[in-house]
Amino acid sequence: MTERRRQSLILLLVAILVAASVVVLVTKPTKRGLDLQGGVQLVYQVSGTKGEGVTDDAIQRTIDVMQDRINQFGVGESEIQRSGTDQIVVSLPAITNTAEAQRRVGTTAQLAFYDWEANVAGPGGRLDAADQRVTGANAGGIGIGGAEINNPVALSQYGAVLRASKFPRRTNPAGTIPTQAGEQWYLVDDKAKKVLNTTPSASVAELTADLRTSRNPTLRRALDGNGQPTADKRFVKVNEGWRIIQAANNVNTDGRVVNAGDRWFIIRDRPGLLGDDIKNPSQGVGQGVGQNGPLVSFEFTDNGKNRWRNTTREIAERGAANCIQTRGLTKAQQGDACNQHFTIVLDQQAISSPTIDFQEYPEGISGSGGSQISGSFSFEQAKSLANLLKSGSLPLKLNVISSQQVSATLGEEALSQGLLAGAVGFGVVAIFLLVFYRALGVIAVLGLAVYTLLFLAIIKLVPVVLTLPGIAGLILTIAVAADANVVIFERFKDELQAGRSVQRSIKDGYRKGLSAIIDGNVITFLVAFVLFLVATAGVKGFAFTLGIGVLLSMFTAVLLTRAILGIAGRSKLMSSPAALGARKRNPIWHRFDFYGAGRWFFAASGLILAVGAIAVGAKGLNFGIDFESGTQITATARPGTTVDDVRSALRPVGQGEAKIQSVNDGSRFQIQTEDLSTAEQTRVNRALQTGVGVQPDDLNSNTVGPTFGETVARTAVVAILASFALIAFVIWFRFGLRYTVPILIAVVHDLLITAGIYALTGAEVTASTVAALLTIIGYSLYDTIIVFDRVRENLNRLPSAAFSQIVNRSMSEVLGRSLVTSFSTGLPTLALFLFGGDTLKDFALAMLIGTISGAYSSVFIAAPVLTEWMERVPAFKARRARLTAANGGTLPPYPEKGGNEVDVDAARKRRASSRVTTPDAAGEQVSAAEFAEMVRELGVEGAEAQTRGRVVEPPELSTGEPTNRAERRAAARRPATSPAVPDQPAPDAAPEAPGPVQRAADLSPEEVTFRDDPGRRPKRKKR
């Protein structure tokens, strides 16, 4: 297949892909993340229970239960993902209340039915169903429903825990349901007479971990540095076989207590049946006498029917016996004895405690018709409870370690800002390419347009959840695609300026630039891969889009733009250097001694690093709540509101010392506090609404607990170390050890510079900043790889030059393209910084600093460090000594023709593979004088025009024998009087420098006489 046909097929394929992309963009919806449409994201940490450890299977079953609950509540496009080994991330779009989301998803919902009188415990753990001082008489069952009843056996939680701690361990007899609660540990404050952890832990170690990771700062401060309770606080254990439950006079949407007061009870943990024994729960309305109002009805499983009948029969028989024994008492006294209860406990709250009518059900209730739960429910509360029971209990214990709430209004605003930043970023890159590359810029912009279209189609087709960090990734991958074009175009211009034909320049430009593009993109892709594996959910979107963009940019830059360039290269426009921006220029750095000035660059970098280190030591880094935990609220108040107004509104709810700052137009405020519980956050939100006119749709909140902060910090360290390891391996594999160390030094230099500037400016360090730092590594290495790739190439082109001269020549050749790639990266990053909104500013700031620092370090840090190392290699050390001695003790910064530096050793010369031919097509022949002029312009010295249609062989570049059959035939046909190339003097003996030997066709015309290949070998005419 000819080259032109191959290029045409590529363009046809791209056209088909573009058409398909348009169809996808028109027909497929975009799946937006919470930060772009509003909603709630919860991050849970799981822990085991008595009967269930933290295993993959248990986590998956927990996720299944949570997903079932979400489906029942009708939350569309929700998402539940496992993160790491013990975390679950839940995303709920369109939910505007964090507390409601937690109730719907994270309630454990462990349901149990107890015979109240048989299991409620009195002092000393005494069980006595006939003693009303133990059972509470008619208030037994805690007085659920209607007016609150003063139960004589109710205790405070502190009193209940202390009493229960003295009870002996109990286990249930064989054949009954085993105890559901094992050991239960509490932290109590004896001075305040309070229990600090409402939900008990299964061991001291678990309790200590729960306290350290609690979102309540009071609980975290209750332990000293050794994990021991501080003054007046102590751990208290309740033995297995007992439960401490709270009375619920009214229940909320998840069946939990509302304004119940401090009414706690100790019961023997011997349930009659569990939540697994019921099925098909549903919300309904009571129809009988005294049953008006919402309730929850359900059916029993076969096993549940038996247990229900046995439990209710025992209650009915006891009620009947009590009535017989209390004959002669008043009706009220007799009623207290006859009315026996069963109590329904959901998690730690008793939500209903009805009586069993022994006269109507003397043999117990069969359970064939199911049963129902009532308890002063609203319709919504009954529905919520039914859904919880329907989904079943969670196998594992869940602890919220991070919550984020984004309003729909602010989500739409973030989307608009992200799209604007993307449009501006694309526009400025396109304008830059058009101005700098002209006709080539048109091709590059066309490639970028196709790239963007394909990228958006992939986002919709997969589908990928589009988030704000994802939009940032898209914008930065535009820079990746532009950089690939810049590398190719600069190589193409080099070849054109060296006198090659357009088609040959395209071929050689791609061949010589491809390795640098592949190396740079492989490293960027590996960084994105590491980020995707270890980062938090928000950063994963950025990593995914960055990875897709890198792969797609390879397709558009290497295949698409080459095909367009190959087709367009036959036009007259492409033969004009002015139209391509390829005029020969000598930039101001053409003869600059980069290596000689290295000490000044090292000194400048050292000074900057020293200032940054002092700033980090004195001020430290301003870590955001992603690392240090806390609650951050973003709220839009009424116009004219000041920081003092916001502080005054927060003071009544105990947040007068919060960190408050005004952002954007002055009416939006960012409030940062210690991490607040859900209830505390609700109070703060209400205070803002009533105090400064904040609307619910103008509230964003983000709460991070210490556990999540530790996870973010740990994953950041892992990501950086893993990235360094992968990068070191790739560089070592592609360049060798001596090139790897300078590259890593330059990367560390860039990261330290960025850290120093963050410390000086006080900019906030977030999880997005870590993503930016890792991206900086990729971009910094891209520039360094371009520089080192040229150094490695010049090792073969200048085999007699000192290494410092090779580096200087390489720097002068690639500094321009380094500046261009930095501009093409910096422009969209600047657009992201200016138009991307507050969320992306920190990310864009780190990227801007890294882009500038990376361009600087690749030329002025990595290259000089490499030179210092390589000049100590014996071969280069000897060569430098020889050249210095030959120049009177001074080594010129650049190798020069005719000087002491020999550009190409005679022993390294090879025959040029190119040939110059005269055309044999009718009407295309040229005269001998014209052909001789062409030969002189191409620099084929000593060649003479031969018979039209014959090959004019280039002169020998070596004294060896012809190396292949074609060359032997050509040598046989060559006239004996053909002039020879005069031999160059052999250089002084010196150890050979490392590096592979290249053919003369790969050498620069500044070093050797190069033969071009403007045409094909003519066909032989049949005689």
Q: What is the pLDDT of residues 156-179, one digit of tens each?
A: 889 999 999 999 988 888 777 877
Give dist(CA 180, CA 49) in Å, integer: 9
pLDDT tens, position by position, 198-217: 788 888 888 887 787 776 77
How confident is the model over 498-514, as a mean pLDDT? Answer: 83
The per-residue pLDDT for 668 is 84
How confident is the model over 578-606, as a mean pLDDT? Answer: 77
Assess whether pLDDT exceeds 80 at residue 92. Answer: yes
Whether 848 contacts 777, CB under 8 Å: no
The per-residue pLDDT for 15 is 93
Give dist(CA 769, CA 808) in Å, integer: 35
> Which of 92-106, 614-628, 857-871 bottoms out in mean pLDDT, i.e. has the lowest?
92-106
470 Rama sector, left if φ>0, alpha if ψ -120 to 50, beta otherwise? alpha
Select from 121, 144, 119 the least CA-distant residue to 351: 144
Count the helix, strand and coil residues of the chain and give each as a percent rounded to the nearest 5: 55, 15, 35
Give dist(CA 756, CA 981) in Å, integer: 59
Query: Which pLDDT band, with edges at 50, 70 and 90, does 1002 fall under?
Result: very low
Select from 654, 510, 495, 603 the least CA-distant residue to 1010: 495
Assess whether pLDDT exceeds 50 at residue 908. Answer: no
Assess whether pLDDT exceeds 60 at residue 426. Answer: yes
The per-residue pLDDT of the chain, averaged, comes to: 77
Measuring CA to CA, how many Å separate 364 from each of 138, 356, 361, 813, 955? 20, 8, 5, 95, 113
Query: Which pLDDT band, with edges at 50, 70 and 90, does 769 fall under?
Result: confident
Give dist(CA 370, CA 299) in Å, integer: 4
Classify strands 242-247 and 349-352 as parallel, antiparallel or unpaired: parallel
Q: What are phi and psi of 107, to 5 degrees?
A: -65, 130
How confident is the model over 754-775, as a mean pLDDT? Answer: 84
The per-residue pLDDT for 122 is 85
Assess whether pLDDT exceeds 70 at residue 76. Answer: no
Bond prior to 463 in cis (omega within 30° of 0): yes
What DSSP assignment string belongs to 142-188? TT-SSS----TT-B-HHHHHHHHTTSPP--PPTTSPPPS---EEEEE
Give dist(CA 805, CA 6) in Å, integer: 41
pLDDT tens, position by position, 8-66: 899 999 999 999 999 999 998 888 888 888 888 888 888 877 667 788 888 888 888 88
The per-residue pLDDT for 151 is 59
Q: Buried b / exposed e across 149-183, counting CB within 10 Å, b at 16+?
A: bebebbbebbebbbbbbebeebeeeeeebebbbbb
> Which of 236-245, 481-490, 635-644, 947-956 bottoms out in mean pLDDT, i.e. has the lowest?
947-956
pLDDT tens, position by position, 344-355: 888 888 877 778
> Which of 357-361, 506-510, 579-583, 770-774 bottoms out in mean pLDDT, i.e. has the lowest?
579-583
The per-residue pLDDT for 537 is 66
Residue 422 tokens read as 């993307």
Assess whether pLDDT exceeds 60 at residue 467. Answer: yes
Q: What percentage of the chain reaches a pLDDT higher than 90?
A: 8
The per-residue pLDDT for 330 is 62
Q: Which residues neighbour 708 within 8 Å (Cβ) at sequence distance 6 or greater?
A: 43, 45, 401, 402, 626, 629
Classify strands 764-765 and 622-623 as parallel, antiparallel or unpaired: parallel
The per-residue pLDDT for 596 is 86
The per-residue pLDDT for 13 is 93
The per-residue pLDDT for 127 is 85
Query: Which pLDDT band, with edges at 50, 70 and 90, does 945 fall under?
Result: very low
> Which of 290-294, 319-323, 787-791 bottoms out in mean pLDDT, i.e. has the lowest?
290-294
∠ CA 742-745-748, nearest 5°, is 155
The per-residue pLDDT for 932 is 64
The per-residue pLDDT for 397 is 82
The per-residue pLDDT for 934 is 61
Query: Which pLDDT band, with edges at 50, 70 and 90, does 1 fall under?
Result: low
The per-residue pLDDT for 385 is 75
Assess whether pLDDT exceeds 50 at residue 146. Answer: no
Query: Which pLDDT band, with edges at 50, 70 and 90, does 326 fall under?
Result: low
Assess whether pLDDT exceeds 60 at residue 462. Answer: yes
Place of tokens 């590398």: 487
> Which of 606-610, 662-666, 797-801 bottoms out in mean pLDDT, i.e. has the lowest?
662-666
pLDDT tens, position by position, 910-934: 444 445 554 554 555 556 666 666 6
Q: Identify the residue with better confidence: 351 or 1023.
A: 351
How confident is the model over 893-903, as a mean pLDDT? Answer: 57
Q: What percentage of the chain reaches a pLDDT higher than 70?
A: 78
Assess whether pLDDT exceeds 80 at residue 590. Answer: no
Give dist(CA 586, CA 720) in Å, integer: 40
- Look up residue 139 and give its DSSP letter: G
**Domains of the chain, first to last:** 41-107+398-406 (3.30.70.3400), 111-156+241-393 (3.30.1360.200), 408-583+593-620+709-879 (1.20.1640.10), 630-704 (3.30.70.3400), 916-975+993-1023 (no CATH)
- HEC string of 380-414? HHHHHHHHHHHHCCCCCEEEEEEEEEECHHHHHHH
Whether 286 contacts 292, CB under 8 Å: yes
Place of tokens 């009843």: 149
Query: Which pLDDT band, with edges at 50, 70 and 90, does 109 fall under?
Result: confident
Give dist(CA 965, CA 92) in Å, integer: 73
Assess whether pLDDT exceeds 80 at residue 634. Answer: yes
Assess whether pLDDT exceeds 50 at residue 752. Answer: yes
